[in-house]
Amino acid sequence: MSLALRPIFRKLRFQMIADSHVAQVEALFANLYRETNITKHQPVVTIPFEARLEVIGDPQGDGRWIQVRLPDDRAAWIQAGDITLTPRNNAGIAELIEWSRRFLGLPYLWGGTSTYGYDCSGFTQMLCRRRGYSLPRDAGPQAQWVGAKMVEKTDLQPGDLLYFGSSAQHITHTGMYIGNGQFINATAYQHPIVQIDNLNEEHWTKLLVAATRIK
């Protein structure tokens, strides 16, 4: 293929994927295999939650396996139990809080936006996506997002978003309030993992500078 045609090909390829059936990973991680057998070979690759792949073949093995295309155009097989063809984006708050616990213990990674590692705003952004909302990438802009309203610390409700820093103008951390004085967050404080912390602990109390509720 000539160099001149490559941008056109990429554009057409993207359109084909957008218009075709897409599988989204629903498990924390999913292994892809070169054939429908997990005992013959090591996985070709392991991909994280929310990764999206083009479906290119009919289900095999009583519907257990789905054939997909990798970014380098190779074909691979993924187990149907690891993916969804109809991603959820309308979770209620109670459901979201219960569902968020599946991420506990995943590593903190500055700049991380996947189950390979989340940072605080990447984790909060992902949780809100499950409710159907697209937040800005970083904690400061998230606190200023027009889709949410400010709430008083004394009026916190489960699902509210918490923002921490030296001041409201210098926000460096975020998490989601889950009730009973607790919040879930990806943090490097003490243990660099996704964890549940107590909002009444001195470390967090002195840093809490804002809270918002999605409208």
Residues labelled as active-site residues: 120, 173, 185
Helix (H) or strand (E) holding 99: helix 93-100
The span from the CA of 172 to the CA of 164, in Å, is 6
Kind plus residue range of the DSSP H or E element containing 16: helix 6-19
**Token pair for residue 129?**
């996506």
The CA distance from 189 to 74, in Å, is 41
Q: With CA atoms as reference, report the closest residue to 103 among 123, 88, 81, 122.
A: 123
134: which 2 tokens? 């697209």
Element (H, E) at 140: helix 139-143
Say if strands 65-69 and 75-79 run parallel, antiparallel, or are unpaired: antiparallel
Q: CA dist 79 to 22, 42, 74, 82, 106, Å?
A: 14, 14, 17, 6, 22
Task: Answer yes or no: are the C-beta atoms of 53 and 17 closer than 8 Å.
Answer: no
